[in-house]
Amino acid sequence: DMTMLLRARLVALFCVVALGRGFPPVKQLRRTCTPCYAAELPVQRLAREAEQRGASRRTAEAACVLADKALRERQPQSTAGFLPVSDREAVEWVMKDLIDLHVRSFGGAPRAERRRMVFARREEYEEEQSAQAGVASLVQQAAPCVALRIDGQFLFDDVPDEAFVRACCACVPLPDPEQYFGDVALNGDRGATVIATPEAARVVQKALKDIAGVDVRVSIAEVEDVFRAPVRKPIQSVEASLRADAVGSSGLGVSRSKFSAFVKSGQVQLNWKPLKSSSTQVKEGDVICLNGPRKSTVEVSSVQTTAKGRFRVELVRES
């Protein structure tokens, strides 16, 4: 067959030329080849999907634009401010299958609810992981956070954490100033600590003089110097039901009536959303969060039914 004979002669000619010139080593090929990355992100489609999963339209569009920019310019990009849990989880979900993109978040404190998101090429994170500084340094450099310490004598004034955020927002003459402030930790009757972007913190430090008629002193500190690592404690309990007050009171070490009082005052969240009723049923994987001076989180790690029809619950408390 003439076709087969022609193919054989061409293959033989190629082998002779290749052996004469020689091929470069494999390592040299790896160094000289330019990696091939995915095309530009479908920003509008990803933004619509994130919005459908609960993110605000503004946040979804801005986050997808930043992710696309991080891939095209090969530089980490971060959100200008802090995002609530619902927005952040929606954005993370729509981007979880993008092989070239790595998404992280940083809120300044362990288990922070409000966080800044960082988008970068996956290869940059892999390089950071092999370096001594680690991935955390890249995230913290791209989305820096500081601790804004607000000290005052609040012994006779019950000031909620929202009041500290409102006072800080009033000092920032920008649209939507709340985005520049993260979580708040009350320091008893001595004030509170607010996580903020460095730029917003400097503005508040100069402008904030009093809160609810109480004179305050404002200082800026590194978040690592203020927030300690959380203490994790495993807890086992047997409950007659999976009501939130039954499980939550066991996990937090308080009475059911005390837990119900926390719920009525709006201090309890279930999966980062306000808990409306103490009778709400919880399940494995749920997270109960108590805000305020006794801020703690309780994760329902396992639920099993006993022979008598009760529930053996394994919990992990962080405080």
Domains with residue ranges and CATH for the chain: 43-142 (no CATH), 146-226 (3.30.70.330), 232-318 (3.10.290.10)
203-210 mean pLDDT: 95
**Taking a C-beta distance cutoff of 8 angstroms, is the pair 146, 201 a contact?**
yes
Q: Which of 115-119, 159-163, 206-210 has the lowest mean pLDDT?
A: 159-163
Q: What is the pLDDT of residue 1?
A: 54
Q: What is the pLDDT of residue 28?
A: 44
**Taking a C-beta distance cutoff of 8 angstroms, is the pair 218, 205 a contact?**
yes
Span 129-163, pLDDT tens digits = 555 455 567 778 888 999 999 999 988 777 888 89
**DSSP, residue by residue, 192-229:** EEEEE-HHHHHHHHHH--EETTEEEEEEEEEHHHHPPP
**Taking a C-beta distance cutoff of 8 angstroms, is the pair 194, 165 a contact?**
yes
Q: What is the pLDDT of residue 14?
A: 58
Q: Which of 7-16, 21-30, 215-224, 260-269 has the lowest mean pLDDT?
A: 21-30
Q: What is the pLDDT of residue 60?
A: 95
Q: Which of 158-162, 196-200, 207-211 has the lowest mean pLDDT?
A: 158-162
Span 99-114, pLDDT tens digits = 889 899 999 887 788 9
Q: What is the pTM of this model?
A: 0.70
Span 250-285, pLDDT tens digits = 999 999 999 999 999 888 999 888 999 999 999 999
Q: What is the pLDDT of residue 36?
A: 39
Backbone angles phi, psi at 224, to 5 degrees: -65, -25
pLDDT at 122 over 60: yes
- What DSSP element (H or E) covers 235? strand 232-239
Q: What is the pLDDT of residue 156?
A: 78
